[in-house]
């Protein structure tokens, strides 16, 4: 296994981290983890050198408002001496925080659930404009300072899902030692993106990457054009290897988190990580990645960059999220066989969906891409909401 310095934490972390969000389950129920399989997978990864184990309060939960089965499963997997072999990461449920006391309540609950005295890497989870405002007002600085001082956590960081402008604001607000961002060859300009990666690295933050395979979308049911691009390589690699090696080719990245569901995925990813040195991708390989990326991009329906200039919408429609889910359906899936009702579009709140558009046109006045937003939202509604009704 390869290891890299995790920014100014000065910890050495394995380039492959085990993300415990997509563990094997029983009877199709996300709240029921197949404990035997999951523990076997996690311990095998640790035996092979993986030392970064990442979980969170709501993973494998029926609701974002309650603790899921992931943390308690991880506690079982780390018995028998395995806790001493790893750096454990979990996350404060930022969306549930209303007071300074809430932060201590959830951290203490997580320490009990994980059956440990301390968390190596503790993150403010899923920060965006709304959650950042809540935890900032509730006293996140004082909480983190105190938790580090009393030994409940060793290092403080955050995971992020919003614009580059907000990302920079958060980085500069507190003396974080690490952060977690979404990054892959399709998301160079999405959320924090490459600009955020470089910004955090220059300030000494250790950087963990989530969604290096974009939730499996860069490995499964690939368009023929993408497969043809990969087939031109001198060295044949799986789609997973192309995606992971692209992320780990960046020296600024310390660890790429993979949410593995099968033992075979664990084995494959470990083998990839053993040879994923930074700055080793050749010019020809970089060109192949660009061809694959272009093949994906050509399937995009709406040229939305999620810049946010169209927001806030007077009717509260989450315009960029609607377009993201709409594009994902066509870019990463097969519209002939995919079921629109299974899209992440349905995680949006009732008021955020395309059907709430009142066609006032204010969004179009500010769109730098000159998108006919009202017309495109009708297509989003037709695909997801009309078909689902």
Among 3.20.20.100, 3.30.230.10, 3.90.1150.10, 3.30.360.10, name the CATH number for the domain at 3-290.
Answer: 3.20.20.100
CA 109 to chain centre: 24
Token representation of residue 341: 């009702």
Token representation of residue 53: 């184990």
Phi-psi region of 7 (alpha: psi -120 to 50; beta: other; left: phi over 0): left
Domain ranges of the chain: 3-290, 319-388
Residue tagged 């059956």 (tokens): 115
pLDDT for 337: 65
- In the predicted model, residues of the chain with pLDDT beneath 70 are 334-337, 387-389
- Report d(CA 205, CA 200) in Å as an integer: 5
pLDDT for 336: 64
Instruction: List CB contacts of 290: < 8 A, sequence separation 6 or more.
Output: none
Buried b (16+ CB within 10 A) or exposed e, 137-168: ebbbeebbeebbeeebbbbbbbbbbbbbebbb
Q: Give me the helices (H) in the chain, please.
A: 35-47, 69-77, 100-114, 129-138, 140-149, 164-173, 193-202, 224-231, 239-248, 263-273, 283-297, 319-331, 362-366, 373-380, 387-388
Phi-psi region of 153 (alpha: psi -120 to 50; beta: other; left: phi over 0): beta
pLDDT for 82: 98
Residue pair 148/256 in contact by the 8 Å Cβ criterion? no
Q: What is the pLDDT of residues 281-333, one digit of tens each?
A: 999 999 999 999 999 888 889 988 777 778 889 999 999 899 989 988 888 87
Pair type for strands 119-127 and 153-160: parallel
């Amino acid at each position: 296994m390869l290891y890299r310095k995790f920014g100014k934490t000065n910890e050495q972390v394995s380039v492959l981290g085990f993300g415990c969000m997509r563990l094997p389950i029983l009877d199709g129920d996300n709240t029921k983890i197949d404990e035997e399989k999951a523990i076997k997978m996690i311990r095998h990864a640790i035996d092979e050198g993986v030392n970064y184990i990442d979980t969170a309060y709501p993973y494998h939960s029926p609701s974002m408002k309650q603790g899921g089965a992931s943390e308690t499963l991880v506690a079982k997997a780390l018995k028998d001496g395995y806790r001493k072999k790893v750096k454990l990461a979990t996350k404060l449920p930022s969306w549930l925080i209303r007071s300074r006391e809430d932060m201590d309540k959830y951290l203490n609950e997580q320490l009990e659930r994980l059956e440990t005295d301390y968390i190596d890497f503790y993150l403010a989870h899923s920060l965006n404009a709304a959650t950042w405002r809540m935890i900032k007002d509730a006293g996140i600085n004082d909480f983190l300072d105190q938790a580090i001082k009393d030994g409940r956590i060793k290092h403080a960081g955050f995971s992020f899902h919003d614009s580059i402008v907000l990302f920079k604001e958060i980085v500069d607000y507190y003396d974080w030692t690490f952060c977690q961002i979404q990054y892959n060859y399709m998301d160079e300009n999405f959320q924090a993106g490459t600009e955020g990666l470089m910004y955090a690295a220059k300030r000494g933050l250790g950087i963990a990457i989530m969604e290096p395979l974009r939730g499996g979308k860069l490995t499964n049911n690939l368009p023929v054009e993408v497969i043809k691009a990969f087939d031109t390589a001198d060295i044949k690699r799986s789609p997973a290897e192309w995606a992971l090696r692209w992320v780990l080719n960046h020296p600024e990245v310390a660890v790429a988190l993979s949410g593995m569901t099968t033992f075979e995925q664990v084995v494959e990813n470990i083998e990839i990580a053993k040879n994923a040195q930074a700055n080793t991708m050749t010019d020809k390989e970089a060109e192949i990645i660009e061809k694959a990326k272009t093949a994906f991009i050509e399937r995009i329906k709406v040229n939305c960059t999620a810049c946010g200039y169209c927001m806030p919408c007077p009717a509260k429609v989450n315009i960029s999220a609607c377009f993201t889910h709409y594009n994902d359906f066509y870019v990463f899936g097969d519209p002939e066989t995919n079921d629109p009702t299974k899209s992440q579009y349905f995680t949006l709140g009732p008021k955020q969906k395309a059907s709430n558009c009142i066609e006032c046109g204010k969004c179009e006045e500010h769109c730098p891409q000159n998108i006919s937003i009202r017309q495109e939202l009708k297509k989003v509604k037709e695909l997801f909401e009309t078909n689902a009704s």
